[in-house]
Amino acid sequence: MTATAPVTAATATTPEDSPAPAAPVATTLPLSPPANLRDLGGIAISGWTTRADFAWRADDLSVIDDASATRLMSAGLSTVIDLRSIAETEITGRGLLGAYPVAYHHVPFMASISSAVDHVADPSEMWDQSRFAQMYISLFENAAPQIVTALAVIAHAPGAAVFHCAAGQDRTGVLAAALLLAVGADNDAIVTDYAETGRNIAAVSVRVRPVIEPMMARLGLQMDVAARAAVRTEYSRAPMLGLLEHLRTTYTDPLQPLYDAGLTTGLVDQLRRRALGA
């Protein structure tokens, strides 16, 4: 991220006379810098390069510390898109960013975390990242209206828009893929961006565990399995490759599920202008 002028109440969509209060974070949850935050700038697309600070992707921003919140604001943050389920947001709220003049959009990609394992015969497989392709396909097709909503927010954000889920890997990865497809990225660029999470996944696991652990307990799942999976020495590109192959072989246009859900050529053009200055 490159530093830009801080967002002020005059440029944010939160009304100046009624700032959004900071939602309380459970006192037992540690606050820390994000472990999987990165800029989607610098990606080569058809002779262009995506510009810095139009969109960032991240792991859970509801539990960031004050220094991180201040840094994001100084870098030009204007908009937060929260892809987590309602149950997740009930645990942490918006966190410290709720006290800043930042537009907040809750766009849950799934009704509950349990829906992520509905198609898995052995629930322990949900921790095997290399097998997530079917989950990504399901998210792209079934959460297409939410993806279109998130893309519209990014397209019209006055400053940097950041989107996040818990780990910044799955729901965030699917939205990043949709965004990059919309602005014309090829498979290699999309998969390379996805694979960058592999560098951070061990730190992400430690960071999200205090939030995810009680939710998993409700489903009868143990986090020790997740912890072992999170420190894999190899991070698989297979899930994103599987999603992209499915989209390109199933549909004439890989964005077709999104067009069916309301995506327009006008919105795609606006995204390209935001991302490329084209």
C-alpha torsion sign, points 253, 258, 262, 268: negative
User: Do residues 62 and 87 lie in contact, with contact meaning Cβ atoms separated by under 8 Å?
Assistant: no
* Tens-place pLDDT, residues 103-158: 999 999 998 665 655 555 555 566 789 999 999 999 999 999 999 999 999 999 99
pTM: 0.86
Residues 88-108: pLDDT tens digits? 998 899 999 999 999 999 999
Contacts of 101 by beta carbon, 8 Å cutoff, 6+ apart: 7, 8, 9, 11, 12, 14, 16, 19
What are the residues facing 194 on neighbouring strands? none
